[in-house]
Chains A and B, each alone.
Chain A
């Protein structure tokens, strides 16, 4: 199936039809901030924000999620509030790509020996049935660095349908069979013309060329392993205050904690987001903390994203969305960190 065109006048119809089958999430304003929220109509969508303040990972991996409730009768998984599968409108390439990475962890979407394979039912239930409408970035931000890690402003990875905002219309291109099936069922589209396709191409090349040149990352993992014991981590982490603004706004950070909340003979087991920036993250029952220092925790976050994850899953755990860059209260810019790593040699001299 080729690209189709949806005139913006027909967009509200499209949302209506989508809502009939799916619970639709889209970028929206909550207070002064933007995040992915459930929407019912076009008016609730924020089309202006390119990168939402909070990543969409919370749709599939909520900040707190009850795994089960228990009492004397046994344990029960809470009934789903919403019966419909999830559709997401307006997901940028960096974010849709992050879902593929998370799916490697939670969905075992990677070649693994059978006995190591684990599929998280809470994730799978939401993610496997979802329909992702991606959104091309025509004007990448100065904080965007998706091109460092093989992404791009018009990347289609992780999307079911790729959408380009072409002014008075949305051009939609199915990426997966699921996307194509959905588009086929709707009547509000027109076939795209050659002109439409030329417009999409032009927008893509303009967007790509507007981005700063990427840093070389090929040997990043090796360099990091090599520098594990070096003093450079103290230099890098000096200003870090070890809050979780980076990890919680990150679309790929996925560490969690399991907590029990009980009272008398009943209670619930909850999964909550956790952050390697927090001292309690690695606090052992003995009272020993293997990552007691800020520098050790910063190193862990960088190593996980750019060394351990690539070793295990074959790609960096970073899509270059830039959220951590803008969210950091002390402007500790991950791009600067990686540049420092790249320029550092073992004699302790930082080049450039």
Chain B
């Protein structure tokens, strides 16, 4: 079954039957390695929709962009497993109403991290991408490179346990089920074996690269504060430079603010123009949240986000020592 064709049919009927006013999907972008968000409001636009390895954007960011731009509209959205968790989280956090959203789940085999692809081509420009399943072929002027899928997938996908939407109205294609992914925490486990000085050096080296463009924050569906703390200047919470003393504060606070709310979609890491390993701390915090509160962000539409809930028997190591 061709997922893209089925998706297009689905969007068309949703629009035709007036079940949605707007559908959020992806279309082919101007670059071979990146699809671009698509806003469908008429049936004929549905034929632009695609779903493939380049559809990395988590489209649920648009629910909270410019606050309530979709208010009063029914919105359809194409989701990967992680994106669906963001939609659920947006619902649980009362940013959108379940009845105003039509969720279309798609069978996800992971999305590309274009920086990983470009690292393989040694600076040469990629002009074409062919997805062959286990391998992807990238072509450019005078080269033709076959790469294993694992080499170029976003590291969030390599650590993904829930590739399928758990909450959906329609599911296109075959669900993959839970992926054991035993090695998913390997990077964190290795990091934890380092001495505190080594951990500091490594962390500092990552956040030193930051230029404060906030692409990570702005592609994050869980980052939707009316005014982000970095955008406040009375009082000012953070210095304005791109020195690591300031950038580290931004990242650590953002990291803690999305604790129990980060769905580990990896959009932040893929968006980062400076190639910062943003996922590691996020994953570490998600691991802690699961360990202490038994919660996995956005998985259960009947649940409550860990930080919005309190159970008498939960671990209180932080307070009680």
Contacts from A to B (Cβ < 8 Å): 30-34, 46, 48-50, 53-54, 63-64, 139, 141-143, 238-239, 241-245, 247-249, 257, 259, 261, 270, 272-273, 275, 278-280, 283, 293-294, 325-327, 329-333, 335-336
Contact = CB atoms under 8 A, between A and B. Distances in A.
Contacts of A241: 61, 65, 215, 218-219
Given A33-B274, A272-B240, A330-B57, A243 B123 contact: no
Given A32-B275, A46-B123, A63 B242 contact: yes
Interface centre among A30, A32, A50, A63 (most CB of B within 10 A): A32
Interface residues of B, number: 45
Contacts of B34: 331
Contacts of A326: 31
25 contacts: A31-B209, A32-B275, A63-B242, A64-B240, A143-B31, A242-B218, A243-B213, A243-B219, A244-B211, A245-B271, A247-B213, A248-B212, A248-B273, A257-B240, A259-B241, A261-B239, A272-B242, A283-B233, A294-B66, A329-B270, A329-B271, A330-B36, A331-B29, A331-B31, A333-B29
B214 interface: yes
Given A139-B141, A261-B239, A294-B65, A280 B231 contact: yes
B225 to A, nearest CB: 11
A283 B234 CA distance: 12
A165 B239 CA distance: 43
B302 interface: no
Interface string B64-90: 011000000000000000000000000
A169 B275 CA distance: 33
B321 to A, nearest CB: 32
* Most B C-beta atoms less than 10 A away, residue of A248, A326, A330, A335: A330
Interface in B234-268: 239-243, 267
Contact of B37 (A32, A257, A330): A330
B185 interface: no
Given A32-B275, A243-B217, A244-B212, 18 more contacts: A30-B209, A53-B274, A54-B211, A64-B240, A143-B125, A241-B218, A241-B219, A242-B218, A243-B213, A243-B271, A245-B271, A248-B213, A272-B241, A327-B273, A329-B215, A331-B30, A331-B35, A332-B36
B127 interface: yes
A239 B39 contact: yes
A339 to B, nearest CB: 11
B314 interface: no
A35 to B, nearest CB: 9
A261 to B, nearest CB: 6
A70 B242 CA distance: 21
B122 A48 contact: yes
B311 to A, nearest CB: 35
A53 B273 contact: yes
Given A30-B209, A141-B125, A333-B30, A64 B215 contact: no
A332 B37 CA distance: 9
B115 interface: yes
Contacts of A335: 30
B223 to A, nearest CB: 10
Contacts of A31: 209, 274-275
A63 B233 contact: no
A49 B123 CA distance: 5
Interface string B48-71: 000000000100011001100000
Contacts, number: 127
A150 to B, nearest CB: 22
Contacts of B241: 63-64, 259, 270, 272
Given A248-B273, A270-B240, A275 B30 contact: no
A69 to B, nearest CB: 14
B320 interface: no
Contact of A245 (B127, B215, B275): B215
Contacts of B275: 31-33
Contact of B57 (A33, A272, A279, A329): A329
Interface string B205-231: 000010111110111000000010001
Contacts of B233: 280, 283
A47 B219 CA distance: 32
B292 interface: no
A204 B62 CA distance: 45
Q: Which 9 A-B pairs have the closest CB atoms?
A: A329-B271, A64-B241, A48-B123, A331-B36, A331-B29, A244-B213, A243-B215, A32-B275, A243-B218
A30 B115 CA distance: 13
B37 A278 contact: no
Interface in B20-38: 29-31, 34-37
A312 to B, nearest CB: 26
Contacts of A239: 36-37, 39, 62
A248 B242 CA distance: 12
A95 B115 CA distance: 23
A325 B30 contact: yes
Given A49-B123, A142-B125, A64 B243 contact: yes
